[in-house]
Amino acid sequence: MRKLFFFVTVFTVANILAQTESSKRERKWQIGIGTAVVKFSDEDAAFIGDKNMIQIPRLNLTIPIGNNLSLDGAMSFNSFGVGFIDNSVKYFSLDGSVRYNFNNLSEDFVPYVFAGGSLVDSERKMTPTLNIGAGLTYWISKSFGLNTQVYYKHSLEMFESMRSHIQITGGIVYSFDIGSMFAGKPTSSIGGACYFNQH
């Protein structure tokens, strides 16, 4: 029983420490830049005007709201042509989602699932979509990571200006502590130390 109790205690403490180290990173803000590819089915492509469209750049900001939850906002701009894929029509989207991060699975690999919505601006007019998806961030250092994710953007039948489609994204993210950026060094204690040193 003592050996079992010791093993369970050590395992529990190690697991808590691992989750704490992982959650420290996930409690930080993240900014990212990358690209995205939108894919329509053959039937919907005939209506939209293009089957595969690329967005450059795609910008996103992720704000933690708990140990496993975060809010993510992104903007995907219409591509200005990259040679091998040129968009026949425009595609610009504003995305917002709530993520659930699986922080305790690995220190370097952080998978997550998300749900949210988008406003997609096409050739016709801006149209809302409902989104679900999954993503993965591989942290190559304490501050930088590689991110990829897959969206399914569902367009309701009542909106005739857009069709449901898939968006695949990829980019690099930077993690930072927003609190340390605005935290100033205390000056009263320094001034007090100088005062007492002079007397």
> Integer distance in angstroms from the first to the last C-alpha of the chain?
63
- Using alpha carbons, select from 43, 100, 54 the residue that is nearest to residue 76: 54
Query: What mean pLDDT value characterizes the chain?
Result: 79
Residue 55's pLDDT band (cuts 50, 70, 90): confident
- Using alpha carbons, select from 38, 25, 40 the residue that is nearest to residue 139: 25
Length of the chain: 199
> How many other C-beta atoms lie within 10 A of the C-beta of residue 186?
9
- Quickly name the fold that domain 2-180 has: Porin (2.40.160)
Residue 198 has pLDDT above 90, yes or no: no
Q: 163-195, pLDDT tens digit by residue? A: 999 999 999 999 998 765 555 544 443 344 433
Q: 82-129, pLDDT tens digit by residue? A: 555 567 788 899 999 999 999 888 889 999 999 999 999 887 788 999
Q: What is the pLDDT of residue 82?
A: 57
- Listed as own residue / partner, the contacts of 7-11 with beta carbons closer than 8 Å and 24 or more positions apart are none
Q: What is the pLDDT of residue 27?
A: 66
The answer to whether 39 and 168 have CB atoms below 8 angstroms apart is yes
Q: What is the pLDDT of residue 167?
A: 96
Cα distance between residue 95 and residue 199, in whole Å: 61
Would you state the torsion angle of the CA atoms of residues 16, 24, 117, 94, taken in this order, to the nearest 10 degrees?
-170
Q: What is the mean pLDDT of residues 46-66?
A: 89
Q: What is the mean pLDDT of residues 141-154?
A: 96
Q: What is the mean pLDDT of residues 134-138?
A: 97
Better-scored residue on pLDDT, 10 or 175: 175
Domain spans, the chain: 2-180
Query: Longest C-alpha distance within the chain, in Å?
Result: 85
List the single range of 5-14, 68-77, 82-91, 120-129 with lowest mean pLDDT. Answer: 5-14
List the single range of 13-17, 72-76, 123-127 with lowest mean pLDDT. Answer: 13-17
Tokens 């293009």: give the residue: 50
Better-scored residue on pLDDT, 45 or 110: 110
The answer to whether 67 and 44 have CB atoms below 8 angstroms apart is no
The answer to whether 97 and 121 have CB atoms below 8 angstroms apart is no
